[in-house]
Chain A
Amino acid sequence: GDSVTQTEGLVTLTEGLPVMLNCTYQTAYSTFLFWYVQHLNEAPKLLLKSSTDNKRTEHQGFHATLHKSSSSFHLQKSSAQLSDSALYYCALSAGRNNNNRIFFGDGTQLVVKP
């Protein structure tokens, strides 16, 4: 069935270093991928989304490229800021045959230190 895998539960890095959060997925029908961000004591909200193979999508300094050949949609940023500390979810839309139900990964906690 459809699923999303985020291999890192926790990523800790120093301010100014690059960020890369991994996301791979499995789906039989659809390939619409999302990244959501949840700051402390807030609700998750959409960060960026894509369905186009090999096209870079950017928003708020973050970017991700959907690679259908490797079923990946990794989230990257060139230079981490303290304010980037949050919980990040990769998500997949399961396609029309599954009523476009959304599947979330387990989330990656990003901690940026000074």
Chain B
Amino acid sequence: EAAVTQSPRSKVAVTGGKVTLSCHQTNNHDYMYWYRQDTGHGLRLIHYSYVADSTEKGDIPDGYKASRPSQENFSLILELASLSQTAVYFCASSDPTTENTEVFFGKGTRLTVV
């Protein structure tokens, strides 16, 4: 069974503090994504990566950085957390070599900035 593991599962951060969300996948997928989901709203792509040591900006990258040190690991970094970044964050992976590719999601990280 393909697996994407996120840590922590929930976090309370202080405004202006640094937050790092971690993601680990055992799917052997080259593609990894970070999405943000606000209550009652859809997924919005923050950053993605299709190879280790390289990241790409998604649709809402401002205020976020990403790091892909290896194929298995993909981190999302909030250098200066703000109240508006309170949301649920999903990490995901997929295989870019085929169109017939399922995206596998982690269980999400609930981030509350106070």
* Interface positions of A (Cβ within 8 A of B): 30, 32, 34, 36, 42-46, 49, 51, 87, 89, 91, 93, 95-96, 99-102, 104-107, 109
Contact = CB atoms under 8 A, between A and B. Distances in A.
Contact of B97 (A43, A44, A51, A100): A100
Nearest to B90: A43
Interface stretch (B15-23, B35-43, B61-69, B70-78): B35-43
B99 A96 contact: yes
Interface of B: 31, 33, 40-43, 45, 48, 50, 90, 94-103, 105-108
B31 A107 contact: no
A43 B99 CA distance: 22
A22 to B, nearest CB: 15
Contacts of A36: 103
A32 B107 CA distance: 25
A101 B33 CA distance: 10
21 contacts: A30-B99, A32-B99, A32-B100, A34-B103, A43-B90, A43-B105, A43-B107, A43-B108, A44-B43, A44-B103, A44-B105, A89-B42, A99-B50, A100-B31, A100-B94, A100-B96, A100-B97, A100-B99, A102-B94, A104-B43, A107-B42
